[in-house]
Chain A
Amino acid sequence: MTSTFSPPETYRPSGGYRLLPFRFADLGSERRLLVNEVGEHLRIRADDLESLVAHTLDAHSDVYLDLKARHFLFDSDSLAPFELLTAKYRTKKSFLDGFTQLHIFVISLRCEHSCIYCQVSRVSPDRQRYDMSAETASRSLDLVFRSPAQQLKIEFQGGEPLLNFPRIREIIEEAERRAAATARPVEFVVTTNLALITDEMLSFFRDHDVFLSTSLDGPPFIHDANRPRPGNDSHARVVENLERSRSALGHDRIAALMTTTSLSLQHPEAIVDEYLRLGFSAIFLRPISPYGFAVRTARTTGYSMSEFLAFYVQALAHILEINRRGTFFAEAYAQLLLRRIFTPFATAYVDLQSPAGAGIGVAVYNYDGNVYASDESRMLAEMNDHRFRLGNVHRDAYEDIFGGPIVRTLAASSVIESLPGCADCAFQPFCGSDPIFHYATQGDVVGHQPTSEFHEKNEFLIKHLLELEESDAHARRIFWSWITPESSS
């Protein structure tokens, strides 16, 4: 390979100092937030920033020493700034190692719930049409085990995957055989509404170390309004079967996700309290996805991102108050952002990384054999938009599915270091991109950053968390408790 870079010593200044790469944001009140390439950050006065860039900063001042320690500048006695920054950069991007780790199997599109925001499910007795066949499952597993990832995760989704439990059992048993043969650990997650879970299923899940992820939207008057089913008893079934599942599998083997509807917006405290009452140590406050039925029913469930953010701020304040009173309870999205802001580690969250996780971090094997770049891609497909179909397990080779033009386009369109608007954004090391969200909401995979709801949400939340961390000593202590290794993830 042709050498293209001069060695580090070429850049070392003989006198004065040199800048290291960083971006900045205006915090108001003549203050600027500086963030370097690996997420180290510092708040300084606007005139200090101007002096820094003009190379007139006093080398004995506190701000100079802070800037030097956090890798915003280097001088003749700086210790290995390039090597340190390189190691940190590699760590931050280590989610790229191993390529596709998360493999989602849409085991059945059938469901007995008819949730108002559900993107995909069908209330249908037609197993032939909406369940994944044994052959499709086997061919999907062939692709999963072609992935070079050293650790694999298989997640079963639907519809309600438990309606096709025999197929889940076959896939887990076969995947375990293949994992043993290739000496690679494989984890299993079943995303289920829990309403139909039986002792036989729980026994199998316990024997095979399966993790469950369920849905809980809050107290009964919210949950049952969002998630209708025959008998309108969804909440009661979740609560009953949550306890059974915890007894069978262990308390921490079941997580829950909530989806925010316009009804939820009025009740942030009640939703948080319900999670607390049911013994969860975290909640993931999620806005509704702009796909599928959620779009069709926008008039009843729709709200703006600013309304969601107001809801989020209120819920987070309540969560912090719960922690202040001595109970550990985290908000999962804040926890994710805080890890990205305050720790050097990578976070494996496919919806917030650069390049985006679609295809290279996650793949979805649909019940009908089609392979999609993400869960959202198959939701678009249910709206007859197959743009992000990577191929089909029965017809296409691994190389064509995972090395084809769609995966390449998605990766190239989601490197925020080079996207318009994002390239100059100080919050870049904490953020990511979501080309499929932007395609769904703005008609373009790159998106228009100034009007993007993805940008609005992440910029607002990052600023809000930074502000709380700076101004509120209690919040700071609580945030650190969420991101230390002992805390639940």
Chain B
Amino acid sequence: MTILPWCELQPDGSVVIDIDAALYSADVIMRTCYAFTDRSYVFASQDDSRIRVTIAARDPSDDLRKIAGDFSNALIDFRLRATIAGETHAIRELIVAQAFCEADLLDRRDSESDYHTDPRGIATSR
């Protein structure tokens, strides 16, 4: 039985959500699963291009439709978080390293070099 257009209720009472692994990484899906371990039992398995998440109620009175809906919305939030973390992780590491270290951790090879020395191998990387 379909309880949301993308969520199938199984005969054993659990809910199955099949997730496109190209859209949501395994890391994003597992972080979302972890956040839902307080209100449900969660199991994830992978099959080619899809990751299947099975959610079972902790208590028979729990509203699985709501849990599955919240889970789906949370996936979008966790994907957004992953995008932000991906774009900013180098800056974050720089800030933390500079804050904690009296020593100079900056690699000035790029800014203090020219194209002849090409320290990062940019000219030869193509």
A residues touching B (Cβ–Cβ < 8 Å)? 1, 3-11, 18-24, 26, 37, 49-50, 53, 82, 85-87, 89-90, 93, 420-421, 424, 448-451
Contact = CB atoms under 8 A, between A and B. Distances in A.
B106 A89 contact: no
Given A19-B84, A53-B80, A37 B92 contact: yes
B36 A82 contact: no
What DSSP secondary structure best describes chain B's contact surface? helix
A65 B108 CA distance: 31
Contacts of A420: 34
B38 to A, nearest CB: 3
The 10 closest A-B pairs by CB, nearest first: A450-B38, A3-B107, A21-B92, A21-B88, A89-B99, A90-B99, A86-B98, A7-B106, A86-B99, A451-B38
B87 interface: yes
Interface size class of B (residues with CB under 8 A): 35 or more
A11 B110 CA distance: 12
Given A5-B105, A7-B107, A21 B91 contact: yes
Interface of B: 31, 34-39, 77-78, 80-81, 83-85, 87-100, 103-111
Contacts of B92: 21, 37
Contacts of B100: 90, 93
A447 to B, nearest CB: 12
Nearest to B106: A7
A388 to B, nearest CB: 26
Q: Which of B92, B93, B103 has the most CB of A within 10 A?
A: B92
Contacts of A85: 95
B91 A82 contact: yes
A26 B80 CA distance: 12
Given A20-B91, A21-B89, A89-B99, A9 B111 contact: yes
Contacts of B94: 5-6, 8, 11, 82
A70 to B, nearest CB: 15
B84 A53 contact: yes
B107 A6 contact: yes
B113 to A, nearest CB: 12
B8 to A, nearest CB: 25
Contact of A20 (B35, B88, B99): B88
A7 B110 contact: yes
20 contacts: A3-B107, A3-B109, A7-B107, A11-B91, A18-B87, A20-B91, A21-B89, A21-B92, A22-B88, A23-B84, A24-B84, A49-B80, A82-B91, A82-B98, A86-B98, A90-B99, A90-B100, A424-B31, A424-B78, A450-B36
